[in-house]
Amino acid sequence: MTLLTTEEYKAIAAGLTFPTNAFIDGHFRPAISGRTFDTLNPATGEVLAKVAACGPEDVDLAVAKARDAFEDGRWSRLHPKERKETLIRLAKLVKRNARELAVLESLDSGKTIYDCELVDVPETINCLTWHAELIDKIYDQVAPASDNHIAMILREPVGVVGLVLPWNFPLLMLAWKIGPALAAGCSVIVKPAEETPLTTLRMAELAMEAGIPPGVFNVVPGTGPEVGEPIGRHMDIDAVSFTGSTETGRRFLRYAAESNLKEVTLEMGGKNPAVVLDDAENLDRVAAHIVNGAFWNMGENCSASSRLIVQKGVKEALLKRIVAHAREWPVGDPLDPVNRVGALVSKAHYEKVCSYLEKGPKVILGGKAERGFVEPTILEVSRDSRQAREEIFGPVLSVLTVDSFDEAIALANSTEYGLAASIFTGNVKRALRGARAIRAGTVTVNSFGEGDISTPFGGFKASGFGGRDNGIHAHDQYTQVKTIWVDLADDVDEAVY
């Protein structure tokens, strides 16, 4: 896709009409209480729109409509081919409205238009299309049994699902969840993050236009206590898929335990290591990967390379190249396609990230922050410092030095998290040994990344629980496995087994 000029993007922004109401049973409607909340442009602080501030009563209504839709089979029992065609129509509508969605996402989240245009929206389309195409390609099974029996193993939609989204990739994380959930035949209740509700509400319009039946795709905006917790505790929601902080993820486990023991899938935080050994090849390329991993999306990324663990022999040469590459990531107006670092999502989050820039660690690069923007920052830190241990979720790279391969792997694992990691080495045996030894859900070798739509994404330890996003494995979150045992025997003696 060819990027436009800043002026062209601002012209698109000026012409946007913002969706503001909840979407329940195929219709937009205000919150039952009539209350609203402001959604802000993080780059300017201006109010973009007043969005329906839903509460428990809105959740109850959405769940009732979702349950009706699921039970009468308007989607759950629709032929797989028809569900596939509907989701492909949705993907095509997203493509047709891609530029509008990219601008809307940038305005609401502070993300750069560069990323929204070139990463988020294209990957959203890819995700929806991939799961749509998978619908009629996942086969059920027949288990080995005696000659007098047939044992069928079926995958059935789990039912009504709560999908609770983060604010860092609002549109893409929506696709990660509705793609497999709708493909499986579930009805969904989506709670967008309070900071970034607009693209999810716009997607509801597109879903209706694509032909997804009323009650199947519902969006209930609001706060965690007023919407998130009621979803987590609801007795008629069968499963919840949550992406967000580890602290909030723990709450969803409690909500499930204290209600109907609904299934819970959690994709949470990370303190992800990038291990660079002294035999790493092409340090310039290594540096480019480190910078991308640390500063992409302003570091507001659960899989961000936030810890550089570098072997002493290569440290000086690598840091020189990292600093050079980091200077190529301009900070500023998110609608200027030149900029690679936009505004942090909210004032509260900006202040949190700024707290890690206080005096203490040695500043190798950056360290400055102003009015919601934090420049790419590289700090040399001690192993017991906050910067080395805590998830910052901002454009801050913490550098730690080691003497050996074993020390590097031990340090990589010395965290409560286990989402993603990278290892850079020219020795294939060390690469594979290291990748096996690092306790993380995704380990990349000689690159930064998360795999792609075909590979499962999720974490170990405090980074994840209960399932995976992406790949065929994502469908496991939204299906139940059922055994149907058929007795073919003609008399009692033959039926004994």
Task: Supply the residues annotated as catalytic.
Answer: 267, 302
The span from the CA of 96 to the CA of 99, in Å, is: 8
* One-character DSSP codes across 201-252: HHHHHHHHHHTPPTTTEEE----IIIIIHHHHH-TT--EEEEES-HHHHHHH
Closest by CA to 261, choosing from 297, 295, 237, is 237
Contact 117, 1 (CB under 8 A): yes
Contact 127, 206 (CB under 8 A): no
Closest by CA to 137, choosing from 207, 210, 83, is 83
How many CB atoms are located within 10 Å of the residue 73 CB? 11
Closest by CA to 90, choosing from 171, 186, 203, 210, is 210
Token pair belonging to 33: 């209480």
Contact 232, 240 (CB under 8 A): yes
Contact 464, 267 (CB under 8 A): yes
Give the three-class secondary structure for 199: helix
Backbone angles phi, psi at 377, to 5 degrees: -130, 135
Contact 274, 424 (CB under 8 A): yes
Helix (H) or strand (E) holding 306: strand 305-311
